[in-house]
Amino acid sequence: MPNTRTELIDLQFLGYPLAIAAYLLDDGVEAALVEVGPTSTATTLLREVQARGVPLERVRHLIVTHIHLDHAGALGWLLQRLPNAVAYVHPVGAPHMVDPSRLIASASRLYGEMMERLWGEVVPIPQERLRIVRDGERIEVAGRVLLAVDTPGHARHHHAYLDEATGTLFAGDVAGVRMPGTTYVRPPTPPPELDVEAWQASLAKLRALPIQQLALTHFGLYGDVERHLNELEARLLNWAEFTRHLIEQGVPDGELIQRMRDYGNEEMRQQAADPSSYDLGAGYELIALGYARYWRKKLGLT
Protein backbone atom coordinates (compact mmCIF):
# COMPACT_ATOMS: atom_id res chain seq x y z
CA MET A 1 0.00 0.00 0.00
CA PRO A 2 1.40 3.43 -0.84
CA ASN A 3 2.36 5.69 1.99
CA THR A 4 -0.76 7.74 2.45
CA ARG A 5 -2.01 9.73 5.39
CA THR A 6 -5.36 11.07 6.53
CA GLU A 7 -5.48 14.17 8.69
CA LEU A 8 -8.39 15.94 10.29
CA ILE A 9 -8.45 19.70 9.84
CA ASP A 10 -10.61 21.69 12.27
CA LEU A 11 -12.06 24.57 10.24
CA GLN A 12 -12.70 26.68 13.36
CA PHE A 13 -16.17 27.61 12.16
CA LEU A 14 -17.11 31.07 13.53
CA GLY A 15 -14.00 30.77 15.67
CA TYR A 16 -15.25 27.63 17.44
CA PRO A 17 -13.35 24.34 17.52
CA LEU A 18 -15.09 20.97 16.93
CA ALA A 19 -17.84 22.36 14.68
CA ILE A 20 -16.85 21.47 11.10
CA ALA A 21 -14.04 19.14 9.98
CA ALA A 22 -12.36 18.58 6.64
CA TYR A 23 -10.16 15.54 5.98
CA LEU A 24 -6.87 15.85 4.11
CA LEU A 25 -5.69 12.75 2.24
CA ASP A 26 -2.12 12.90 0.96
CA ASP A 27 0.32 10.40 -0.51
CA GLY A 28 3.10 12.90 -1.23
CA VAL A 29 2.25 12.98 -4.95
CA GLU A 30 -1.31 14.22 -4.87
CA ALA A 31 -3.70 15.33 -2.17
CA ALA A 32 -7.46 15.25 -1.73
CA LEU A 33 -9.91 16.89 0.63
CA VAL A 34 -13.02 15.12 1.82
CA GLU A 35 -15.40 17.94 2.82
CA VAL A 36 -14.32 21.52 2.32
CA GLY A 37 -16.63 23.48 4.63
CA PRO A 38 -18.12 26.88 3.81
CA THR A 39 -16.34 29.79 2.11
CA SER A 40 -16.25 31.57 5.49
CA THR A 41 -13.60 29.07 6.67
CA ALA A 42 -11.84 28.51 3.32
CA THR A 43 -8.78 30.66 4.09
CA THR A 44 -8.33 28.64 7.28
CA LEU A 45 -8.59 25.43 5.27
CA LEU A 46 -5.92 26.46 2.75
CA ARG A 47 -3.63 27.67 5.51
CA GLU A 48 -3.99 24.37 7.38
CA VAL A 49 -3.36 22.33 4.23
CA GLN A 50 -0.11 24.21 3.60
CA ALA A 51 0.85 23.97 7.27
CA ARG A 52 0.80 20.18 6.80
CA GLY A 53 3.41 20.40 4.08
CA VAL A 54 1.02 20.14 1.15
CA PRO A 55 1.52 22.79 -1.57
CA LEU A 56 -1.76 23.98 -3.09
CA GLU A 57 -0.76 22.69 -6.55
CA ARG A 58 -0.78 19.15 -5.11
CA VAL A 59 -4.49 19.29 -4.18
CA ARG A 60 -6.28 17.55 -7.05
CA HIS A 61 -9.53 16.27 -5.59
CA LEU A 62 -12.27 18.05 -3.65
CA ILE A 63 -14.84 15.50 -2.51
CA VAL A 64 -18.02 16.51 -0.69
CA THR A 65 -20.56 14.20 0.91
CA HIS A 66 -23.44 16.56 0.08
CA ILE A 67 -24.00 20.11 -1.05
CA HIS A 68 -25.15 21.72 2.20
CA LEU A 69 -23.09 24.87 2.68
CA ASP A 70 -21.31 23.66 5.83
CA HIS A 71 -19.86 20.80 3.75
CA ALA A 72 -19.54 22.13 0.20
CA GLY A 73 -20.08 25.90 0.25
CA ALA A 74 -16.39 26.66 -0.44
CA LEU A 75 -16.06 24.45 -3.54
CA GLY A 76 -16.30 27.22 -6.16
CA TRP A 77 -14.08 29.60 -4.21
CA LEU A 78 -11.47 26.88 -3.71
CA LEU A 79 -11.41 25.85 -7.38
CA GLN A 80 -10.40 29.43 -8.21
CA ARG A 81 -7.36 29.01 -5.95
CA LEU A 82 -6.47 25.34 -6.53
CA PRO A 83 -5.42 25.23 -10.20
CA ASN A 84 -5.23 21.41 -10.42
CA ALA A 85 -8.35 20.45 -8.48
CA VAL A 86 -11.70 19.09 -9.58
CA ALA A 87 -14.86 18.70 -7.47
CA TYR A 88 -16.73 15.40 -6.90
CA VAL A 89 -20.46 15.78 -6.29
CA HIS A 90 -23.59 13.59 -6.05
CA PRO A 91 -25.69 13.65 -9.24
CA VAL A 92 -28.67 15.23 -7.46
CA GLY A 93 -26.52 17.99 -5.99
CA ALA A 94 -24.29 18.72 -8.98
CA PRO A 95 -26.62 21.09 -10.92
CA HIS A 96 -26.94 23.23 -7.79
CA MET A 97 -23.21 23.72 -7.55
CA VAL A 98 -22.98 24.87 -11.18
CA ASP A 99 -25.92 27.23 -10.65
CA PRO A 100 -26.20 27.77 -6.89
CA SER A 101 -29.17 30.17 -7.06
CA ARG A 102 -31.67 27.65 -5.66
CA LEU A 103 -29.20 26.41 -3.05
CA ILE A 104 -28.65 30.00 -1.90
CA ALA A 105 -32.39 30.75 -1.90
CA SER A 106 -33.12 27.62 0.12
CA ALA A 107 -30.37 28.38 2.64
CA SER A 108 -31.52 32.00 2.87
CA ARG A 109 -34.98 30.82 3.95
CA LEU A 110 -33.34 28.98 6.86
CA TYR A 111 -30.60 31.43 7.81
CA GLY A 112 -31.88 34.86 6.68
CA GLU A 113 -29.55 37.72 7.49
CA MET A 114 -27.01 35.31 9.00
CA MET A 115 -26.19 33.86 5.55
CA GLU A 116 -23.09 35.91 4.77
CA ARG A 117 -21.61 35.67 8.25
CA LEU A 118 -22.20 31.93 8.49
CA TRP A 119 -21.27 30.75 5.03
CA GLY A 120 -19.66 33.56 3.00
CA GLU A 121 -19.92 33.75 -0.76
CA VAL A 122 -21.12 30.74 -2.79
CA VAL A 123 -19.15 30.75 -6.05
CA PRO A 124 -20.54 28.68 -8.96
CA ILE A 125 -18.45 25.70 -10.12
CA PRO A 126 -17.36 25.62 -13.77
CA GLN A 127 -18.93 22.56 -15.42
CA GLU A 128 -15.57 21.33 -16.73
CA ARG A 129 -14.17 21.04 -13.19
CA LEU A 130 -17.08 19.00 -11.90
CA ARG A 131 -17.11 15.20 -11.64
CA ILE A 132 -20.47 13.59 -10.99
CA VAL A 133 -20.09 10.51 -8.79
CA ARG A 134 -22.64 7.71 -8.88
CA ASP A 135 -23.64 5.15 -6.26
CA GLY A 136 -21.11 2.31 -6.11
CA GLU A 137 -18.48 4.16 -8.08
CA ARG A 138 -14.86 3.91 -6.91
CA ILE A 139 -12.65 6.95 -7.23
CA GLU A 140 -8.88 6.84 -6.98
CA VAL A 141 -7.43 9.73 -5.01
CA ALA A 142 -4.22 10.35 -3.11
CA GLY A 143 -3.03 6.73 -3.21
CA ARG A 144 -6.26 5.07 -2.24
CA VAL A 145 -9.67 4.06 -3.50
CA LEU A 146 -12.87 5.57 -2.15
CA LEU A 147 -16.21 3.81 -2.66
CA ALA A 148 -19.18 6.15 -3.04
CA VAL A 149 -22.29 4.98 -1.18
CA ASP A 150 -25.55 6.75 -1.92
CA THR A 151 -26.98 7.50 1.51
CA PRO A 152 -30.14 9.65 1.42
CA GLY A 153 -32.14 10.57 4.52
CA HIS A 154 -30.46 13.72 5.80
CA ALA A 155 -30.49 14.97 2.21
CA ARG A 156 -31.25 13.35 -1.15
CA HIS A 157 -27.86 14.44 -2.54
CA HIS A 158 -25.77 12.54 0.03
CA HIS A 159 -22.85 10.16 -0.43
CA ALA A 160 -20.72 8.52 2.22
CA TYR A 161 -17.24 7.48 1.06
CA LEU A 162 -15.56 4.30 2.26
CA ASP A 163 -11.77 4.00 2.14
CA GLU A 164 -11.82 0.24 1.61
CA ALA A 165 -8.17 -0.30 2.52
CA THR A 166 -8.52 1.12 6.03
CA GLY A 167 -12.26 0.79 6.66
CA THR A 168 -12.61 4.52 7.32
CA LEU A 169 -16.02 5.84 6.32
CA PHE A 170 -16.21 9.55 5.54
CA ALA A 171 -19.79 9.75 6.64
CA GLY A 172 -20.90 13.34 6.10
CA ASP A 173 -24.12 13.75 8.08
CA VAL A 174 -25.73 10.32 7.54
CA ALA A 175 -23.96 9.00 10.66
CA GLY A 176 -25.05 11.95 12.78
CA VAL A 177 -23.26 14.48 14.97
CA ARG A 178 -21.03 13.49 17.86
CA MET A 179 -18.32 15.23 19.84
CA PRO A 180 -14.97 13.77 20.91
CA GLY A 181 -14.99 12.26 24.38
CA THR A 182 -18.73 11.54 24.40
CA THR A 183 -21.00 8.71 23.28
CA TYR A 184 -24.05 10.83 22.46
CA VAL A 185 -25.09 10.85 18.77
CA ARG A 186 -27.45 13.58 17.54
CA PRO A 187 -29.43 13.13 14.31
CA PRO A 188 -29.18 16.27 12.14
CA THR A 189 -32.66 16.46 10.61
CA PRO A 190 -33.01 19.77 8.75
CA PRO A 191 -35.76 20.69 6.30
CA PRO A 192 -36.63 20.26 3.51
CA GLU A 193 -35.40 16.77 2.61
CA LEU A 194 -35.45 14.80 5.87
CA ASP A 195 -36.70 11.31 5.02
CA VAL A 196 -36.70 8.97 8.02
CA GLU A 197 -37.35 5.79 6.03
CA ALA A 198 -34.65 6.60 3.47
CA TRP A 199 -32.24 7.32 6.34
CA GLN A 200 -32.97 3.94 7.93
CA ALA A 201 -32.31 2.23 4.59
CA SER A 202 -29.02 4.12 4.33
CA LEU A 203 -28.00 2.95 7.81
CA ALA A 204 -28.83 -0.64 6.84
CA LYS A 205 -26.60 -0.20 3.80
CA LEU A 206 -23.76 1.09 5.98
CA ARG A 207 -24.08 -1.83 8.40
CA ALA A 208 -23.36 -4.21 5.52
CA LEU A 209 -20.02 -2.52 4.81
CA PRO A 210 -16.68 -3.37 6.49
CA ILE A 211 -16.45 -0.07 8.39
CA GLN A 212 -13.75 0.13 11.05
CA GLN A 213 -14.02 3.79 11.84
CA LEU A 214 -16.46 6.65 11.27
CA ALA A 215 -14.98 9.97 10.17
CA LEU A 216 -17.68 12.52 10.96
CA THR A 217 -17.76 16.06 9.62
CA HIS A 218 -19.30 17.09 12.96
CA PHE A 219 -16.92 15.90 14.44
CA GLY A 220 -14.00 13.49 14.41
CA LEU A 221 -13.16 9.77 14.36
CA TYR A 222 -15.01 6.98 16.20
CA GLY A 223 -14.33 3.25 16.33
CA ASP A 224 -17.51 1.98 18.04
CA VAL A 225 -19.30 1.82 14.70
CA GLU A 226 -22.15 -0.56 15.50
CA ARG A 227 -23.06 1.03 18.82
CA HIS A 228 -22.86 4.49 17.26
CA LEU A 229 -25.14 3.64 14.33
CA ASN A 230 -27.61 1.86 16.62
CA GLU A 231 -27.85 4.86 18.91
CA LEU A 232 -28.33 7.19 15.95
CA GLU A 233 -31.12 5.09 14.46
CA ALA A 234 -32.92 4.66 17.77
CA ARG A 235 -32.85 8.40 18.38
CA LEU A 236 -33.89 9.29 14.83
CA LEU A 237 -37.00 7.14 15.33
CA ASN A 238 -37.63 8.22 18.90
CA TRP A 239 -37.52 11.88 17.93
CA ALA A 240 -39.82 11.13 15.00
CA GLU A 241 -42.41 9.75 17.44
CA PHE A 242 -41.88 12.64 19.86
CA THR A 243 -42.42 15.28 17.17
CA ARG A 244 -45.29 13.42 15.50
CA HIS A 245 -47.48 13.70 18.58
CA LEU A 246 -46.80 17.41 18.94
CA ILE A 247 -47.45 18.11 15.27
CA GLU A 248 -50.68 16.12 15.31
CA GLN A 249 -51.74 18.30 18.26
CA GLY A 250 -51.07 21.41 16.16
CA VAL A 251 -48.31 22.75 18.40
CA PRO A 252 -46.83 25.91 16.79
CA ASP A 253 -43.25 25.83 15.49
CA GLY A 254 -41.81 28.01 18.27
CA GLU A 255 -43.14 25.68 20.95
CA LEU A 256 -42.10 22.60 18.97
CA ILE A 257 -38.51 23.87 18.84
CA GLN A 258 -38.49 24.55 22.57
CA ARG A 259 -39.98 21.14 23.43
CA MET A 260 -37.43 19.44 21.15
CA ARG A 261 -34.60 21.35 22.82
CA ASP A 262 -35.75 20.41 26.34
CA TYR A 263 -36.19 16.79 25.33
CA GLY A 264 -32.81 16.51 23.60
CA ASN A 265 -30.88 18.34 26.26
CA GLU A 266 -32.30 16.10 28.97
CA GLU A 267 -31.05 13.06 27.00
CA MET A 268 -27.65 14.69 26.67
CA ARG A 269 -27.50 15.43 30.37
CA GLN A 270 -27.98 11.73 31.06
CA GLN A 271 -25.02 10.91 28.81
CA ALA A 272 -22.92 13.77 30.23
CA ALA A 273 -22.70 15.50 26.83
CA ASP A 274 -22.46 19.26 26.37
CA PRO A 275 -25.17 20.60 24.02
CA SER A 276 -23.33 23.75 22.92
CA SER A 277 -20.82 22.09 20.62
CA TYR A 278 -23.55 19.94 19.04
CA ASP A 279 -25.71 22.98 18.37
CA LEU A 280 -23.16 24.33 15.85
CA GLY A 281 -23.39 21.18 13.74
CA ALA A 282 -27.14 20.60 14.13
CA GLY A 283 -29.21 23.09 16.12
CA TYR A 284 -32.63 22.22 17.56
CA GLU A 285 -34.42 24.80 15.44
CA LEU A 286 -33.55 23.04 12.18
CA ILE A 287 -34.03 19.61 13.77
CA ALA A 288 -37.58 20.48 14.88
CA LEU A 289 -38.48 22.22 11.61
CA GLY A 290 -37.11 19.27 9.63
CA TYR A 291 -39.37 16.81 11.45
CA ALA A 292 -42.30 19.26 11.18
CA ARG A 293 -41.99 19.42 7.42
CA TYR A 294 -41.50 15.66 7.16
CA TRP A 295 -44.61 14.90 9.20
CA ARG A 296 -46.88 17.56 7.68
CA LYS A 297 -46.08 16.19 4.25
CA LYS A 298 -46.48 12.56 5.33
CA LEU A 299 -49.68 13.15 7.31
CA GLY A 300 -51.17 15.41 4.62
CA LEU A 301 -51.28 18.43 6.95
CA THR A 302 -49.70 20.94 4.53
Interacting span for Zn ion (CB under 5 A) from 23-31, 62-70, 136-144, 292-300: 62-70
Q: Which stretch binds Zn ion (CB under 5 A): 132-140, 172-180, 231-239, 272-280?
A: 172-180
| The one segment of 67-75, 85-93, 124-132, 267-275 that binds Zn ion by CB under 5 A | 67-75
Q: Which of 26, 30, 48, 70 binds Zn ion (CB under 5 A)?
A: 70
- Of 43-51, 170-178, 225-233, 249-257, the segment contacting Zn ion by CB under 5 A is 170-178
Query: Rounded to whole angstroms, what are the CA distances from 207 to 38, 71, 136, 210?
Result: 30, 23, 15, 8
The residues with which 149 forms a beta bridge, in sequence order, are 160
Q: Which of 33, 41, 31, 32 is nearest to 69 (CA)?
A: 41
Query: Is position 35 an interface residue for Zn ion (rule: CB under 5 A)?
Result: no
DSSP state, residue 155:
-
Given the complex with Zn ion, which of 11 and 149 has the nearer CB atom?
11
Q: How many CB atoms lie under 10 A from the CB of residue 105? A: 9
Q: How many residues bind Zn ion (CB under 5 A)?
A: 2
Of positions 35, 163, 173, 279, contacts Zn ion by CB under 5 A: 173
- Strands 130-132 and 86-89 turn out to be parallel
Cis, bond preceding 192 (omega within 30 deg of 0): yes
Contact 38, 74 (CB under 8 A): yes
Report the residue number, 143 or 281, with the smaller CB distance to Zn ion: 281
- Which residues of the chain form contacts with Zn ion (CB under 5 A)? 70, 173
